[in-house]
Amino acid sequence: MVIMIVVACALLLLGAFYTYKFIKKEKSKPHKPKKEKVRKSKIAPKEAVVKNVHLRVKSPYMLRKEVLFWKYLNLILPKQYVVVPKVSLVDLFIPDGDKSIFRLIADKTLDYVIFHEANMTVALVLDIYDKSYGDEQLDEQDPFLLDILAKLNIKVTSIFVSNDFDRESCKKQIYSALGLYVEAEAKEKEKKGD
């Protein structure tokens, strides 16, 4: 019992010694002024945000060649199709599981997407390009993106568009990709067979 009392006293003295040493050490440190807690400001009212907008309107939204081609597409396509220019992949796809691939392509834009008008599903993606240099150069899509679209069973057709593109071959290329010539040729064969 005496041994336990001696051990307890020793532990109390040891604790008091280290407490004294800690307090002395803290007092010897240079005193830093306390930082005032910065309160997070409330969300600024919409009016204040609108006054401080740091944006510019993109001008032009589409190049002259792109607008002409879009008008041409609207003329040649049957009414069951809708053409939408500059489609962002964020609006077209949603991630299903792992988001890493989605993050890689989320900032990409497709030149034109032809949708089935009845249910707005993708019928064909048109990638237009020209090989000219200057202020109206149109680049081909990233091969990585084209591989992903192929994996998703989305047809992509690349079309060379210069200032004066071959309208008839362009129409044939688009109709062929949409399967429209196949239907037209089958009807012609039926007429000839009768």
Give 173-184 pLDDT, tens digit per residue: 999 999 987 555
Residue 173's contacts (CB-CB under 8 Å, 6 or more residues apart) are: 157, 159
pLDDT at 184: 55
pTM above the 0.75 mark?
no
Closest Cα partner for 66 from 95, 101, 109, 120?
109
Q: Domains plus CATH for the chain?
A: 64-193 (3.40.1350)
| Confidence (pLDDT) at 82 | 95
73 CB-contact burial (10 Å; exposed 0-12 / middle 13-18 / buried 19+) = buried
For residue 23, the model assigns a pLDDT of 76
**Residues near 34 by Cβ (< 8 Å), separated by ≥ 6?**
none
Residues of the chain with pLDDT under 70: 26-44, 47, 49, 131-141, 163, 182-194
Buried b (16+ CB within 10 A) or exposed e, 28-46: eeeeeeeeeeeeeeeeeee
Instruction: Name the residue type at position 74.
Output: N
